Amino acid sequence: MFAVVLLLLVPELREKNILPWQVFNSANEKPQPLSYAKAVRSAGPAVVNIYSEDIQVNPTYGRQSRKVTLGSGVIMHSQGYILTNYHVVQSADLIVVVLQRGQELHAELIGYDVLTDLAVLKVQANNLPVIPQNNALTAQVGDVVLAIGNPLNLGQTVTQGIVSATGQSGLSTSYLQFLQMDAAINEGNSGGALINSNGELVGINSRKFTQANPNLNIQGIFFAVPYQLAHKIMLKIIEHGRVIRGWLGVEANDSLTSLKGFVIGNVTPYSPAMKAGLQSGDLVYQIGSMQLQNAKQGLDVVAEAAPGSVLSFMVSRDNQQLTIPVTIAEVPKSLESLPEN
């Protein structure tokens, strides 16, 4: 009798063919637990283990294995291109990639970039799993992220955290442009994938923050190369075997006046800036047709420029507006390094 009354009072039950007792059963059902298993299943097969071996030739004992470095990598393309950290394969004589299905492949080092600590490997294989990628993806502070890798050679594991600070996609790179997150990165995680809750690649895991003072107990500060920057670096390495950056040779600080751009600090001797006549204190507010908002934007324009190209710098100096042509050079090898912290 109660069921008939319920159907009369709630006609939606008749329209949706819901039986009265199902209303009470559904109320007692437990909600599904929050899980990132689907994301890990989607991205995990494309994260590989990397073992790089450095061979030492001993005059007495001949060739001996000196060091095996553990790391991880991410399959970015079905043709066998893999992104990893440069420090994982640095000085390696032999690089072995192990897929999650157990297949071992020898890898060729296509090229590397010291500034972003990225390297591109290539393996010869078919039907490779490729990491899900979204070219429009922009990481935001607070995003949930998962780090997938092979820490301490324990096999593929996943750590979870959030994005603490966002990175940029420009080539004028420092740790300030890396993604910062608190998903744990240990030895062997380097070069693995940082993904979002949809399984899409957010970045390439790099390393944890290091501090010269051993008495400081720093936790939860880890870095990853943002996906868009990593993808850009990969394409340049595949095309040229290395990353070619333009160089100006100045210390740049954001303008604090109403005129946006950057103020030049120190000028490196014999640099393109000094040869062109740029001076300390100049405010650069435009390069070519690009109106600048800050120093990062200006340095990115320079870094993206081909060495030998001429850029027009619009400069404010002593209340005068000047246009100064600058011939961009390539970044010197001595400057291609990242600080340890």
The catalytically annotated residue of 52, 72, 87, 172 is 87
The catalytically annotated residue of 52, 113, 117, 206 is 117
Query: Is residue 117 among the annotated active site residues?
Result: yes
Q: How many helices (H) and strands (E) does the chain have?
A: 8, 21
Q: Please give the single-letter amino acid code of residue 339.
A: P
Query: Is residue 87 among the annotated active site residues?
Result: yes
Judge contact between 161 and 141, C-beta under 8 A. no
Q: CA-CA distance, 194 to 164, in Å (whole number)?
A: 13
Which of 269, 229, 248, 267 has its CA nearest to residue 115? 229
**Which residues are registered as beta bridge partners of 119?**
84, 112
> What's the chain's Rg over C-alpha atoms?
26
Q: CA-CA distance, 45 to 252, in Å (whole number)?
A: 43
Non-local CB neighbours of 168 within 8 Å, separated by 6+ positions: 177, 226, 229, 296, 300
The catalytically annotated residue of 172, 190, 206, 255 is 190
Judge contact between 221 and 182, C-beta under 8 A. yes
Active site residues: 87, 117, 190
